[in-house]
Structure 1
Amino acid sequence: MPPRRRTLLKVIILGDSGVGKTSLMNQYVNKKFSNQYKATIGADFLTKEIQFEDRLFTLQIWDTAGQERFQSLGVAFYRGADCCVLVHDVNTMKSFDNLNNWREEFLIQASPTDPETFPFVVLGNKVDVDGGNSRVVSEKKARAWCASKGNIPYFETSAKEGLNVEEAFQCIAKNALKSEEEEEIYLPDTIDVASRPQQSSSGCQC
């Protein structure tokens, strides 16, 4: 009997309020950007059909409210995620400093089988603001943080101009797919630490 193919890939976007999570999702799915800021209440999601190696998938992208009062959205929200996207605003140091908190929050709530190898992707958004003159988080600093967390793929994006948004989500989809396939191969109730498969250090060959 052939293995069951789950065509739904669940992606969760986390980060402080106002870093552009909703705008990135809308730019990728709908190719639209709005200057009107509207805080997400709780959580919302959009879906996009993608094709990879002759297979069709539905990428289900969950957008979360960054306000602290919504941070504990419940285990059900995080569970089953195939990839987690961490977003910061390159013009706001606090949003970058909080990436670690968001990453830890996700690992606690989602409880992935192997936290060491679960796929994350980091986006440094709003690189277009003030022609890049108001940025306070350098690309070097962001990449160093990603490297220290197991070589997480990193992209600098502009949801407003669409810069690197498509490329970033292609990498996110590939990582989500890799995670989903590994879950499919191994029995969920089998734990074999000694023969853990070797992971690619880059996380994504984009």
Structure 2
Amino acid sequence: MARRPEDEYDYLFKVVLIGDSGVGKSNLLSRFTRNEFCLESKSTIGVEFATRTLKVEGKVIKAQIWDTAGQERYRAITSAYYRGAYGALLVYDVTKGTTFENVSRWLKELRDHADSNIVMMLVGNKTDLKHLRAVATEDAHAFAEREGLSFLETSALEATNVDTAFQTILAEIYRIISKKNLASAADAAASPATLREGKTIAVGASDGGAAARKPCCST
């Protein structure tokens, strides 16, 4: 069977990583997209992104993962990059309580700048540092439930739950996009006289059709 060219995909989904500086966003990105981890990684300046293509329910999904700098002075720059995002991982460091406390602020910023239907996941990183844990799993899980977020703990160093986190959020994005496409097809087939006003499901700045085969930035 002929191998599918790498630049062929059914959908492209932009996902942003947000959270305080030093929580491990860059290493989550490199672990997921290149299966690499760098102990000497430096703080991201501005924004970086990388891609990985994978299959979700038989469809080829190209994930474009954006690593937004956590430093305060870059927040005005990075806020523009929330636009067009279909998903977001809010990352904190399980060994630093302040990074978890600041998740509320990042969540507010995300809700202010991103599409209201963006898929969000809370991620507690650095679970390999068990002896330094400062944030209880139960507390983070309770926060996620209150805010309507999915939740996972990860270790970019040990590659624990990293693929699971990204695959879970991409599968949820695809489920919503698929449902929207099905609803659009049903609406198109219905008689105008039978259409009822309702709420349209929308994720990101563009609809499902635009997400398919249309990059959200030039590479």
Gaps of 5+ in 2: 1-8, 185-195, 202-219
Whole-angstrom distance in 2 between the partners of 1:107 and 1:87: 15
More helix by share: 2
Aligned to 2:33: 29
Matched, 1:148 2:146: yes
Q: Determine which of 189, 192, 195 is the counterpart of 2:198.
A: 192
Q: 2:137 matched to which residue of 1?
A: 139
CA drift of 1:75 comes to: 5.4
Partner amino acid, structure 1, of 2:157 = K
Specify the alignment match of 2:118 in structure 1.
Answer: 118
Contact kept in structure 1, 2:46 and 2:78, CA below 8 Å: no
1:68 aligns with 2:65: no
Count matched residues: 182
Q: 1:65 to 1:186 in 2, by over 3 A?
A: farther
User: What secondary structure, in the 3-state scheme, does the structure 2 residue paired with 1:176 have?
Assistant: helix
Letter in 2 for 1:133: H
**1:175 aligns to 2:172 (yes or no):** yes
Map 1:68-87 → 2, pairs under 5 A: 68-73=72-77, 76-87=80-91
Does the CA contact (< 8 Å) of 1:13 and 1:85 recur in 2?
yes
User: Per-residue deviation at 1:15?
Assistant: 0.4
The 2-side partners of 1:126 and 1:16 are apart by: 14
Aligned partner of 1:45 in structure 2 is 49
2:22 paired residue among 18, 23, 26? 18
Percentage identity across paired residues of the two chains: 35
Question: Is the partner of 1:105 in helix, strand or coil?
Answer: helix
Could you tell me which amino acid in structure 2 is paired with residue 176 of structure 1? I
Deviation, 1:109, is: 1.2
RMSD between aligned alpha carbons? Answer: 2.2
Q: Aligned pair 1:59/2:63, yes or no?
A: yes
> 1:186: how far off?
6.4
Runs of 5+ consecutive residues of structure 1 not aligned to the other structure: 197-206
| Deviation string, structure 1 residues 60-98 (Cα, Å, up to 9, x no partner) | 000010001111226541111111110000000110011
**CA offsets 1:125-153 (integer angstroms, 9 cap, x no match):** 00112xx1211100000000001012x21
Q: 1:200 maps to what in 2?
A: none
Q: 1:159 to 1:123 in 2, by over 3 A?
A: same
Q: What is the CA–CA distance in structure 2 between the aligned matches of 1:80 and 1:55, rounded to whole Å?
A: 21
Give the match for residue 202 of structure 1: none
Structure 1 counterpart of 2:210: none
TM-score scaled by length of structure 1: 0.81
Label 1:102 to 1:185 Cα distance change in 2 as closer, same or farther (>3 A).
farther
